[in-house]
Structure 1
Amino acid sequence: MMIQVNQKTIDEPAILAEMQYHPADSQERAMTKAAESLVIGELLRQRAAKLGLQVTDESKKSSDNDFLAALIEREVAIPKADEESCETYYQQNTERFMTSPLLEVRHILLAAAPDDELDRVNAKIVAEQIIKQLREGEDFARLAQQHSACPSSATAGGLGQISRGQTVAEFERQVFTANEGLVPNPVETRYGFHVVTVDRKIAGKQLPYETVKDKIETYLNEKVERKAVAQYIHTLIQDANIQGFDFVVSDSPLLQ
């Protein structure tokens, strides 16, 4: 593979050397990401040279991000989020600004390794049988002591009071949307299958605008900046003569 960017050559050895910084699920994908990064870097350096920007620090070699920052400062006006924009975002996304609900939960873990398909099938079957027993009036504590692979079996399966972020994502995703009482189906996680009872659910509370406005302002400013950077790089690409590479910049590392 050899690429030309406005008559400047990027050869295959350079692309192969760059691949180490772009892990991917295939060699072809890694090579594409590496080539894309090198092309963007070359475009930034060429534009900086054309404008006469002195980016290089004598103490270190300037990175692509250094050139990008200098060019954005020189050529792109990035608006900042004002109070009205922040308040509007808050009002339109109030569900994002809530304290975590609190749950009092008991569970029975039927352990199964993620890569053991047969074991997971069996664990799910046992979990379904336990749910059936609980519906028929069996004692949760006794079944937890008998079946659960979690240390909580010693305390009737109780996990105490939990909030978001305290359990693995797949458990949280299912349990925090459940109603109070016995969850009707086994909850699957990387650890196996869980029989879960939500004993109490305390709803989260709305956070006042004043406590989150700085976070909203930062988020909106970063969002606008990312869009401006993407548009700027896209403009450089459109104006360039690039041969040997079909450009897609949507997931370029410089745009993350």
Structure 2
Amino acid sequence: MYRTGYSTTSPLRIRLLAVTLAVPMGLGAAVGCNKTPEPEKATDLERIQPQQDEKGAAAKSKLPPIPDGPAAVVGGVEIPREKFMAIYELKLKKYVDRGREVPTASDRRYRKSIIDRLIWAEVLRQEAAKLGVTIDPKDVEARLQKQREGIKDWEKHLERRGETEDSLRELVEIELLEKAILNKLGRLAVTDEEIRAEYEKVKDHYKSDKPRVRASHILIPVGPKDRLRPEPGKPPPPEPTEEEKKKWEAEALAKAKEIYEKAKAPDADFAALAREYSEGPSGPKGGDLGIFTKDRMVEEFAEAAFRLGVGEVSKPVKTKFGYHIIKVTGKWPAGTLPLDALEDQIRKRLEQRKLFEGKRDLKKELLSKYEIKNNIEPTLGPDPRARRPKPPAAKRTLGAGGEAKSGETKAGEAKAGG
């Protein structure tokens, strides 16, 4: 029996298929049709409204756009929408630049944190005005300057943080205003009675079988600063010559001797000299190293410090770190440190505790005191964390005699043997 046509596997059929397929493939390659089209990047906030949650699942609802008009009104004072948007757009910029949609949970968190802090800043300003409390602009600038230290590209740093220069300045102002208001209200004062009570609680933690001293120092390292703190990613500097080593050594010693002459003067302010000259990490704290035993320091430093009497200043002492001018501010034998040794430390700890608790209480108090209209809050929707079911409480099973099974404990008993 004869077959009409030709086989799909015949040489002629294969050649025809090859020619037929080659034409569109060649044309496609010529015009670039085989390239995967790049995703179009979002260019405005309307196109990056959140569609997905943090895990990538489709979100049940989309957050509404930011409304026109003021972002909030506090005590009759409007917080402009533009002020909110300046920070909000920076927070979302990383998603815009990558053409990604903003996760709903992230968007909600950004909106809430920004408007909450703008409202709180305005509340603080109004309360400070009522109390006659002010902050020094120099203190604000000093804090900002401290943050700028060591950052090469400040603008890029702000962008990464999602802040503007003005918004960062306001964060510093919030911190200073909180403390100033609490001081005005007398809520940060620490009494001698509180210090003594705290000392009784902690004194057993300050026992030692070795003598201790408290000392401050001024460190003058040997060699140029760029050798001491090389920039990350750069190769280490070449090994110095013997002549360079001798030169750096002589310069460091000469500077240390000059500072020593100033430090040993009867009216010298050692802490101020340390802040001005010391290259060590304790310099900004006036050179204070705290209380230590002899074995906590390098040998040359420890020997010099423990030979000094209270209030005495050492001549320059050489260690592997450079030259040190040391001043001993306290000295105690083995045993429990007395109250006077720990008083400053306890006072600072109590001040920090009162500041933390004071900020929390002040916020609760003032936010309930002022009339606030938050126009961003309606766009947040329900808090997703509020919908999470709580895990069931662990069941406690008791044996026949009332003892707890599987290592559990009965109420009122300590876990480690009662």
Q: If the TM-score is normalised by the length of the shorter chain, which range does it land in?
A: 0.3 to 0.5
Q: Name the TM-score, length of structure 1 as normaliser.
A: 0.42
**Greater Cα radius of gyration, structure 1 or 2:** 2
More strand by share: 1
Q: Name the TM-score, length of structure 2 as normaliser.
A: 0.28
Larger RCO: 1 or 2 (CA < 8 Å, sep 6+): 1
